[in-house]
Amino acid sequence: MLSLAQDLIIVLLVTGGALGFTLTLNHLWPIHRRRMHEEQIGWQLNILGTTYAVILGFMLYTEWSNFTAAKLNVDMEANALRNVFRLAEGLPAPQATQLEALSRAYVAAALTKDWPEMSAGEVPETTYDINQSMWRTLMSLKSLGTAEALAADHALSELSALTQHRRTRLLHSSSQLPAIFWCLLLVGGFLTIVAVSMFGSLNLRVHIFQVGSLTLLVTLAMLAIADLDQPFRGWVHIDTAAFLRAQSELTAL
């Protein structure tokens, strides 16, 4: 995904292009000639602008909701891992030691392998192997006492939640906004800006400000959608804070 510097460059280029188009249009089609079409252009601009504003707002809200859900899922994954580690204390010695070691290995792999690989657009596999080892460790338990059986039952529930949250994290990492929606956003933004540029305003400075401010707002909104669409990539991303806290707690125990 794009970095902050690349986002700023795109904003400057698009805004500059829109202003350049407006000035060129004023030269080729003077304002006093466009004013006779002002009613028709204004009607079109109202319909087009309102429709595009609804689409843009809905897309931005949806992407922010998905981003928030992905962040919450990461927090729940880290919390499930901490619970598995704590519940390991109630298991027999061999499995308890193995499960604690695997929990520490899982959080270390998430920090050093998963996040860099997801940032590069790859599917991480290290935590999957560790997760499978955790399942084998728990399923190897036999002839448990009442307290141990209770701890094993809760550990299985937490491990199931951990597995589910990991799969959801990978789904959030690999999913993207369909191309048809990007086409809708780009074409709608282009048509809206062109319609504003065609409006026959007698005050050139006001007209330039209107075109520039609208272009800036639309460009920033679409860049926000693009950044939020990939929650583990780019300069706006979900960090490793939840797993860093989990690692700190697992190390201290």
For 197, how many CA atoms within 13 A lie in the half-sphere containing its CB?
23
Q: Is residue 20 in a domain?
A: no
The answer to whether position 230 is within a domain reads yes
* 15 found inside a domain: no
- Asked, for residue 92, whether it belongs to a domain, the answer is yes
With contact defined as beta carbons under 8 Å apart, do 107 and 246 qualify?
Answer: yes
Segment 1-21, tens digit of pLDDT: 678 888 999 999 999 999 999
Range of the domain at 71: 41-196+222-252
Q: Is 205 inside any structural domain? A: no
Contacts of 114 (CB under 8 A, 6+ apart): 124, 126, 127, 169
Which pTM does this prediction carry? Answer: 0.88
Q: How confident is the model at residue 40 (pLDDT cuts 50, 70, 90)?
A: low
Q: How far apart are CA 176 and CA 185, in angstroms?
A: 15
Domain count, the chain: 1
- What is the pLDDT at residue 27? 81
71 within a domain of the structure (yes/no): yes
The C-alpha atoms of residue 181 and residue 16 are separated, in whole angstroms, by 25
Token pair of 162 as six digits: 């951990």
In a domain, 6, yes or no: no
Q: Does a structural domain hold residue 12?
A: no
pLDDT category at 235 given cuts 50, 70, 90 is confident
